[in-house]
Amino acid sequence: MINTYCFEDDKGNVVEKDLDNGKEIPERITVKGKKYNRSYRAEAVGIPASAGWPMECIASGVHADQGRELGEFLNKNGVPTDISRDGNPIYRDVGHRRKALKARNFVDKDSFI
């Protein structure tokens, strides 16, 4: 399987490289004579920035009629969470989202959590 990895030079310029994730991913590469170090920060671009919080999460929402029940469940399990009128939890930050998903035994396989 091919994945895209990011590498950054000492000036902050980022290049992307498609590599086979079945092989060892190098920490450093050279492109056109310039050296680049692997940039995990650049690879994490899909992670919501702090400016993206609070976040209403439709994917982990419930039917609007069950919103109060979800809020009570999360509160009882030590993760007080606001619920929108539509039944969607409103996460304050990454840590809050992680705890709320864990309390519900949810696993986000397409996330950094």
The pLDDT score that the predictor gives to residue 113 is 46
What pLDDT is stored for residue 71 in this prediction?
95
In this structure, what token pair is assigned to residue 51? Answer: 């400016």
Task: Pick the most confident of 4-18, 19-33, 72-86, 93-107.
Answer: 72-86
pLDDT at 112: 53
Vertex 37 angle, CA 39 and 24, to 5°: 85
Residue 72 — φ and ψ, nearest 5°? -65, -40
- How do residues 24-76 score in pLDDT, each as one tens digit? 889 999 999 999 999 887 776 655 455 577 888 988 999 999 999 999 999 99
pLDDT at 108 over 90: no
Contact between 25 and 19 under an 8 Å Cβ cutoff? The reply is yes
